[in-house]
A and B are shown apart, each in its own frame.
Chain A
């Protein structure tokens, strides 16, 4: 019974891990010509300023997106849980971006960001702010992409947090109410501590997915554009090396490096979780 999945995972997931590690010691050029090169890919990688910049960009994305997104999701979730009318309506609308194709989201937002005809610039102009080239100005492109990412993931994570909040037993709130705790106090002393398992889940998954940002950047930033270097994430840089520059060996080394970073990050998270996550 486990055969199909085990074999499938073996071929398409287990073998690739070994293959990537192996390939990272080769030069794999155009039309798959390969030659052994030892550690050269890794040496080159550590000296490659573009790699460091894309790693830096990736960190910037994480810092810009993850906290803001979680904060928004948490606020929305707790507001929705405060016994207001039309809860399910709000929930449905907020979830819509989560079922919308990333490529389409990127397309619409690029159109809204457009430096010459975009609606966002038109609104800025109303307030006397001159038009900005959001997606080709290296200083603005990264925050602009982050906004899109927050927009498209906040609703999804809000659902998970909401489920976590709803799972909190009523008795805690009743006890708090008897003690005369205000709603704010209830939030900080009951909701927040008890929703930490869900928060932890959201944190881990959004960290990993933000670390692997691809769709939005690929779709929104012009390929050899000015803003590319300032916005490309590790995964985009990996993709370009593997499939555009046909440097598959070097790309493999990048993949290994990315994997190591994500691993370290996850281990730190796991170790740290006992300090702040409450399992009832």
Chain B
């Protein structure tokens, strides 16, 4: 038994060792010059349609690249991307590994620990620091420079979010903002005018009152416990904060922050929204798209769901309402990261660079997958669906967006947020007590970072 275990251990360490020496930082640096041409070529291709000269450099890159992501709504777009990508790199096989949001981070961490992490994978603001500090990610600033990719062409907030201790670990892929969708049929039935971009929170409440049917068949609005698509936005508008700028203290004990949450609780108390329990079983967007809810705050990444819905011709969207004259919006960008342990850093980089390129971004826009990050391509996303007022999402990003609240151990205090605030949304406890308690716990987590 000892022998067997010893063997397994030896094997394990040997594998780990070879992986480290195979793609350690310095060696990569020296390797880049020889591969320098490939990504550039790819860039040319993506912008300048299919030319023929893909022979020399690109053919030498081959192998498999496993790509992990959590939003299956983007799968059709990614499949198209692979087709285009293989025109340039015929010998690279991209293997899609879709996952679901609920499981993604658990599995990614398990895979990172076990050495089976995908070669390229999605990364977001709340998790980047943890993975960068955990030495899981391949720094790519040299490759970015060598490929001539200008990071100025991507939203600055998102680029900075992926810059940890002076290393760039990801190129932004897309970003998401929030607006309000409404059901035109229900508005017509209630005989009220559609909301406009200059509406206020009070307007929204009074519309919701008129739209809510006493028999419970239709609610005016959905007020679920939801940070990114919900109260974070109003907290920003009220001048509060979730986490301080220096990421050292929680903002939940601030009066402004609590005011930004209280307005949602008021909606629950007034009976204008399905209960928190109901919204947990069937999400706000699903209830909106089945006509049970007349207005809902929805992230831009859900556009594919709306386009597939039976109600797609009865709905439209508008900017979030202002509170006390202010608007707030959580802009949250995703990026593609490369695993430090990838056996095939060149192929992995080729894929990342392709996804950062114009072609992939435009395809993302036209297929409605997500708002692409590359400058100028967001407009294409807006133009692709003229039936909706999608400009409201882009305006939010440009005019009143705030950074997604995150620190090193975001997941840990996110858990506390959910534990405490869900009960408030379910009207089981009062906001002040819960939020103050939450702030204390969150400060403990932050102090240990």
Which A residues are closer than 8 A to B by beta carbons? 7, 10-11, 15, 30-33, 114-116, 133, 135-137, 222-227, 229, 243-246
Q: B4 contacts A226, CB within 8 Å?
A: no
Q: B418 contacts A133, CB within 8 Å?
A: no
Residue B423 at the chain A interface, CB threshold 8 Å: yes
Please, how many angstroms separate the alpha-carbon atoms of A225 and B425 in the complex?
Answer: 12
A31 in contact with B292 given A7-B1, A137-B277, A224-B418 (CB within 8 Å): no
* Contact pick for B278, options A31, A116, A224, CB 8 Å: A116
Residue of A nearest to B419 (CB): A229
Residue of B nearest to A225 (CB): B280
Residue B34 at the chain A interface, CB threshold 8 Å: no
Q: A226 contacts B282, CB within 8 Å?
A: no
* Contact pick for A222, options B109, B280, B426, CB 8 Å: B280
A222 in contact with B281 given A11-B5, A133-B275, A245-B415 (CB within 8 Å): yes
Q: List 15 A-B contacts (CB under 8 A).
A: A7-B1, A11-B1, A11-B4, A11-B5, A30-B113, A30-B130, A30-B134, A31-B136, A32-B113, A115-B278, A115-B281, A222-B281, A224-B418, A226-B277, A245-B412
Residue of A nearest to B114 (CB): A32
CB neighbors of A among B319-354 (8 A):
none
Quick one: which of A32, A133, A223 has the most chain B CB within 10 A? A133
Which B residues are closer than 8 A to A by beta carbons? 1, 4-5, 102, 106, 109-110, 112-113, 130, 134-136, 275-278, 280-282, 287, 292, 411-412, 415, 418-419, 422-423, 426
With a cutoff of 8 Å between Cβ atoms, the chain B residues found around residue A133 in the complex are 275, 277-278, 280-281
Residue of B nearest to A11 (CB): B1
B381 to chain A, nearest CB (A): 30
A31 in contact with B134 given A11-B1, A135-B281, A222-B281 (CB within 8 Å): yes
B411 to chain A, nearest CB (A): 8
Q: A115 contacts B277, CB within 8 Å?
A: yes
Q: How many A-B residue pairs have CB under 8 A?
A: 66
* Contact pick for A243, options B110, B134, B278, B287, CB 8 Å: B110
Residue of B nearest to A137 (CB): B277
* Additional A-B contact list (7), CB under 8 Å, known A7-B1, A30-B113, A224-B415: A10-B1, A33-B134, A116-B287, A225-B280, A226-B276, A226-B280, A243-B110
B251 to chain A, nearest CB (A): 21
Q: A226 contacts B422, CB within 8 Å?
A: yes
With a cutoff of 8 Å between Cβ atoms, the chain A residues found around residue B278 in the complex are 115-116, 133, 136
Q: B112 contacts A31, CB within 8 Å?
A: yes
B314 to chain A, nearest CB (A): 19
Q: B280 contacts A31, CB within 8 Å?
A: no
Please, how many angstroms separate the alpha-carbon atoms of A225 and B277 in the complex?
Answer: 8
With a cutoff of 8 Å between Cβ atoms, the chain B residues found around residue A10 in the complex are 1
With a cutoff of 8 Å between Cβ atoms, the chain B residues found around residue A31 in the complex are 109, 112-113, 134-136
Please, how many angstroms separate the alpha-carbon atoms of A196 and B110 in the complex?
Answer: 46
Q: B136 contacts A243, CB within 8 Å?
A: no
* Contact pick for B281, options A32, A114, A224, A229, CB 8 Å: A114
A7 in contact with B4 given A31-B112, A243-B106 (CB within 8 Å): yes
A120 to chain B, nearest CB (A): 13
Residue of A nearest to B426 (CB): A226
Please, how many angstroms separate the alpha-carbon atoms of A137 and B280 in the complex?
Answer: 10
A136 in contact with B277 given A30-B134, A245-B412 (CB within 8 Å): yes
* Contact pick for B106, options A7, A115, A137, A244, CB 8 Å: A244
Q: B281 contacts A136, CB within 8 Å?
A: yes
Please, how many angstroms separate the alpha-carbon atoms of A133 and B277 in the complex?
Answer: 6
Please, how many angstroms separate the alpha-carbon atoms of A225 and B106 in the complex?
Answer: 17
B225 to chain A, nearest CB (A): 8
With a cutoff of 8 Å between Cβ atoms, the chain A residues found around residue B110 in the complex are 243
Please, how many angstroms separate the alpha-carbon atoms of A223 and B419 in the complex?
Answer: 11
Quick one: which of B106, B277, B278, B418 has the most chain A CB within 10 A? B277
* Contact pick for B102, options A116, A136, A223, A227, CB 8 Å: A223
With a cutoff of 8 Å between Cβ atoms, the chain A residues found around residue B136 in the complex are 31
B201 to chain A, nearest CB (A): 25
Q: B280 contacts A136, CB within 8 Å?
A: yes
Q: B102 contacts A226, CB within 8 Å?
A: no
A161 to chain B, nearest CB (A): 37
Q: B1 contacts A115, CB within 8 Å?
A: no
With a cutoff of 8 Å between Cβ atoms, the chain B residues found around residue A223 in the complex are 102
Residue of A nearest to B422 (CB): A226
Please, how many angstroms separate the alpha-carbon atoms of A136 and B275 in the complex?
Answer: 10
With a cutoff of 8 Å between Cβ atoms, the chain A residues found around residue B418 in the complex are 224
Please, how many angstroms separate the alpha-carbon atoms of A15 and B1 in the complex?
Answer: 10
Residue of B nearest to A140 (CB): B277
Q: A116 contacts B113, CB within 8 Å?
A: no
Please, how many angstroms separate the alpha-carbon atoms of A149 and B403 in the complex?
Answer: 45
A226 in contact with B106 given A115-B277, A133-B281 (CB within 8 Å): no
With a cutoff of 8 Å between Cβ atoms, the chain B residues found around residue A245 in the complex are 411-412, 415
Q: A116 contacts B292, CB within 8 Å?
A: yes
B236 to chain A, nearest CB (A): 22
Residue of A nearest to B130 (CB): A30
With a cutoff of 8 Å between Cβ atoms, the chain A residues found around residue B419 in the complex are 229
With a cutoff of 8 Å between Cβ atoms, the chain B residues found around residue A15 in the complex are 5
Please, how many angstroms separate the alpha-carbon atoms of A225 and B136 in the complex?
Answer: 30
Residue of A nearest to B412 (CB): A245
Please, how many angstroms separate the alpha-carbon atoms of A114 and B423 in the complex?
Answer: 21
B137 to chain A, nearest CB (A): 12
With a cutoff of 8 Å between Cβ atoms, the chain A residues found around residue B281 in the complex are 114-116, 133, 135-136, 222
